[in-house]
Copies of this chain bind each other. A is one copy, B any other.
Amino acid sequence: MTTLVADAATRKSGKATTMKALVYHGPAKKTFEDHPLPKISAPTDAIVKVIKTTICGTDLHILKGDVPTCKPGRVLGHEGVGVVDSVGAGVTVFRPGDHVLISCISSCGRCEYCRKGMYSHCTTGGWILGNEIDGTQAEYVRIPHADTSLYRVPEGAEEDALVMLSDILPTGFECGVLNGKVQPGDTVAIVGSGPIGLAALLTAQFYSPAEVIMIDLDDNRLEVAKRFGATGAVNSKDGKAAEKVMKMTGGRGVDAAIEAVGVPATFELCEDIVAPGGTIANVGVHGVKADLHLERLWSHNIAITTRLVDTVTTPMLLKTVQSGKIDPKRLITHRFKFDKILDAYDTFGRAASTHALKVLIEA
């Protein structure tokens, strides 16, 4: 067979009924297999041909069996750029042929939460793609609430860069930087120098903080962080990260402590280094509770925030990319053709040795 990818002409001829997709089959089981082509099932749906996609840390969580909402048989993936293939009768903003950025969050635009800008809690959307409905690691994907869940690719935009805007950049920005209220002259610490922590680092610089200290266990990732603009780097292996950060800040602590890992130790480290009046902005996905040291923090005038990304800043981020204020392509370390997606998973899954940040998967 000469191509793994269903040809649009063939598809339009009505002959093709399947496509290739990366399918989850329960903990530790995934296959690259034939899967039924998605169909429009509501008037607000669009079918998008995926041009570029990527793998998220959350996909690895699913494969560990950590995400019970994601059932076997599901096509994974919630990031990507594509071309609109067809739209339902209720779609008014997009037309077949439009190049679009796919948001990881589906938003109906009508419910109480969407009207408040809290798309993550959309009553018929939120994070469903590659979780409760089939996702983007496929040749085609059905996007519900298309008018309010897709974004037009600006003329001349680099589509590689835009793949980073499906999830990772708005996540680092909204959950970390905006919730952390980063301001000019601030001192910021980001705990976790993986892709999400680095996305927070890149977008934190929109606000000209004086210092951004990255904390991680992996020296390579700390090196990357320095190239991306970190002013300080702390390897927390020795258990002395809090001590070091306090020393670096003259005993004062940081204005914003951004947690980008998702385990109790890293969250509690944030409690140790946040300055009076500061903020702990949680980005990490947590599986267990953490200790909140209210016996110390009750009088420190701090705020702790949590957030599932709303992608409400996607239009703003598109403008910053278009104007060159940020180059999200820097997060891409590896590239694979779509039919090598299992290799991409392997590379991404062994990030410590492969030094992978984001792997770009192209049709």
Contacts and interface: CB of A to CB of B under 8 A. Distances in A.
Interface of A: 43-44, 89-90, 92-93, 108-110, 112-118, 120-121, 147-148, 183-186, 205-208, 210-211, 231, 262, 264, 267, 276-277, 282, 284-295, 297-308, 310, 312, 315-320, 322-323, 325-326
A338 to B, nearest CB: 30
15 contacts: A44-B90, A109-B109, A110-B148, A113-B277, A185-B315, A185-B316, A185-B317, A211-B323, A286-B298, A288-B294, A292-B292, A297-B306, A298-B308, A303-B303, A303-B304
A316 B184 contact: yes
A293 B233 CA distance: 29
- The secondary-structure label for the interface of chain A is loop
Nearest to A109: B109
A207 B316 CA distance: 12
Contact of A185 (B109, B302, B319): B319
A264 B93 CA distance: 41
Given A231-B323, A301-B118, A291 B289 contact: yes
Contacts of A44: 90, 92
A105 B183 CA distance: 23
- Pick the most buried of A148, A185, A315: most chain B CB atoms within 10 A of its CB: A185
Contacts of A262: 298
B276 A294 contact: no
